[in-house]
Amino acid sequence: MSGGKRASPHETTAVTMGGAKISVTYGRPYVKGRKIFGGLVPYGKVWRTGADEATTLVTDKMLAFGTREVPAGTYTLYTLPGEKEWLLIINKQTGQWGTQYTMEQDLARIAMEPAPTSVPVEQMTISFVDTAAGATLKIEWSNTSLGSVNK
């Protein structure tokens, strides 16, 4: 860990889908009364998608995020927030502090459409939701919900 004491609790969420074991490890910041998207997390700037260390995706088999294939391995997840569209960025660089982003290491960029949450989400949550196509990687925080289909 770099930068001293963690500001947010950390969690690993995992799923086995189509024989693939997939996990995401990330820092889970709280809203704490702040304006999150378009405020603390500005639009148009790559975000670490969590707190503290970079958010890590691990898969033991190839995945498809929409039309993009992601080979088995360890990756960093970033997002590029926008008011009407976001990008999920799967980056090959790993082990870095969350704000150390190198665009040249991007493996894939996948469009994500933000939607409002039914209720405010105080603590950022990343989860997997089963779908007919396989599963959706879901990110929720504050009043925003994002999903990226993978199979």
Residue 151: the pLDDT is 43
H or E element at residue 107: strand 106-112
Is the pTM higher than 0.85? The answer reads yes
Residue 147: φ, ψ to 5°:
-140, 140
Residues 17-57: tens digit of each pLDDT: 888 899 999 999 999 999 999 999 999 999 999 999 999 99
| Residue spans per domain, the chain | 10-19+31-150
Tell me: pLDDT of 77 over 60.
Answer: yes
Residues in the chain, total: 151
Rounded Cα–Cα distance for residues 85 and 79 (Å): 11
Residue 22, Cβ density class (10 Å: 0-12 exposed, 13-18 middle, ≥19 buried): buried
Residue 2: the pLDDT is 47
Residue 5: the pLDDT is 65
Tell me: pLDDT of 98 over 90.
Answer: no
Residue 66: the pLDDT is 78
